[in-house]
Structures are given as C-alpha cells and as structure tokens.
Chains A and B, each alone.
Chain A
Amino acid sequence: GENVEQHPSTLSVQEGDSAVIKCTYSDSASNYFPWYKQELGKGPQLIIDIRSNVGEKKDQRIAVTLNKTAKHFSLHITETQPEDSAVYFCAAKALSGNTGKLIFGQGTTLQVKP
C-alpha cells in the first residue's frame, strides 16, 4: 500500500525566515497531494494541495512543489510568523477508484520563534 514519509519531525525557525517540509511517497499512482495544518487540540485543516498535472502551486506565503519522477513533494512557507507554529501533515492519494483514502506523513512540528 501507499507509504508517505515526512521530514523533519520538528523544525524551529526565526520569525521571518523560510521553512521547508519534505515528503516522499511510494505509490506512483498517487496524483493528489494535500497539506494540512493542525493547531493544538484541533482537527487538521487543508492549507494547500497540488495535483500531479502541475509542478508548483503558490498561495500567498505558502507554496508546494511536486517532483513526480522522484516521488517527492515539499511545502515552503516564506516570511514565517508565530501564528504559523503548528503541526503540518502531508498526504498522498490516488484519485482513481472510490475509496478516497488519504495516507498521511508522520507530521512536522513547526515552531516559529518571535
């Protein structure tokens, strides 16, 4: 089955710096890659996603890049702010079929120091 590896497990940056989180996936049929942000005690919320027909997608300070050949994708947060501190999860899914199973990475705890 699909396996998603996420690194690093923890990341600490100074406010204003950039943060990069990387994920690799095993199933070459995967073609949908969302990123979720989870604040303490809450459920994860989608922050950005990318489909396999594009290599990069950007939304203000957040961008995601995808390398299908290497089977890895990354989340980039620029000009980090303290409110970016949270746990971030990547996920992968094959859009074909009806199960819609999202397989998640292990999560990255991001701390942005003021």
Chain B
Amino acid sequence: SQTIHQWPATLVQPVGSPLSLECTVEGTSNPNLYWYRQAAGRGLQLLFYSVGIGQISSEVPQNLSASRPQDRQFILSSKKLLLSDSGFYLCASRHKNTEAFFGQGTRLTVV
C-alpha cells in the first residue's frame, strides 16, 4: 500500500505571508496526486490534481497554486495568505484503479 507524508502537521501563519506545504508518496510510482481542503465541519473540496510531473489541474479559482517537481512530490503554495485560506489540507495519492490514500493532513490557521 501507499504511504503519504505531509508536513507540517500544524501551521500558524500571518495574513500576507507565503505558504509551502509538501507531500511525498511512498510505495508507488506515477500516481495521480491531489490536494483537498477541508473547512471546519465541512466536506472535502478538491483543489488541485496532477497526473504527472509538471502537470497540474486546478479545480477552483483561488489564492493557491500547486506544483509537482518530482513524480512523488506534490507542493501546495501561496504567495500571500488570506484569512479564508485557513483549513485542513489533505494530500492524496491514487495509482490507476486503486483506492485513494490520504496523508494525515496539515491544519493551517491564518491569523
């Protein structure tokens, strides 16, 4: 099975500061990778997905961007954080027709 590593686990950042969340995957190659955001008490909103190195698709317009510099590395970034960027961010990996594996998430609080 796949293992998804996400860090940091928690993060408190001031408004206007930059953001970089990293996700790495073990146990598979050439996976589809995803960033989801979960607002408090709400469902999982798909933000970005990637089917390969350098290939990023955005699902919703927002203040965030994603990059995939290596096959098993997926990065979520922002140049200037907004209060509304607060949430629980989850990275997920899926290889072909297998289940999706999630990381443990990063709780981001923008103050």
- Report which A residues bind B (CB closer than 8 A): 6, 32, 34, 36, 41-46, 49, 89, 91, 95, 98-107, 109
- From B42, B96, B99, B102, contact of A43 by CB (8 A): B102
Chain A residues lying within 8 Å of B32, measured Cβ to Cβ, are 98-100
B104 in contact with A99 (CB, 8 Å): no
Chain B residues lying within 8 Å of A100, measured Cβ to Cβ, are 32, 49, 51, 94, 96, 100
Distance in Å from the Cβ of A33 to the closest Cβ of chain B?
A: 11
> Beyond the given A6-B43, A43-B105, A103-B46, could you list 13 further A-B residue pairs with CB under 8 A, ordered by the A residue number?
A32-B97, A43-B102, A43-B103, A43-B104, A46-B100, A99-B32, A100-B49, A100-B94, A100-B96, A101-B46, A101-B49, A104-B46, A105-B43
Provide 24 A-B residue pairs closer than 8 Å at the C-beta atoms, listed in order of the A residue: A34-B99, A34-B100, A41-B107, A42-B104, A43-B92, A43-B105, A44-B102, A45-B102, A46-B99, A46-B101, A49-B99, A99-B32, A99-B49, A99-B51, A100-B51, A101-B34, A101-B46, A101-B49, A102-B46, A102-B100, A104-B36, A104-B43, A104-B44, A107-B44
In the complex formed, the residue of A with least CB distance to B97 is: A95
Judge whether B76 is part of the interface by a CB distance below 8 angstroms: no
Task: Give CA–CA (A89, B94) in the complex, Å.
Answer: 17
Distance in Å from the Cβ of B61 to the closest Cβ of chain A?
A: 15
| SS class, residues of chain B in contact with chain A | strand
Distance in Å from the Cβ of B37 to the closest Cβ of chain A?
A: 11
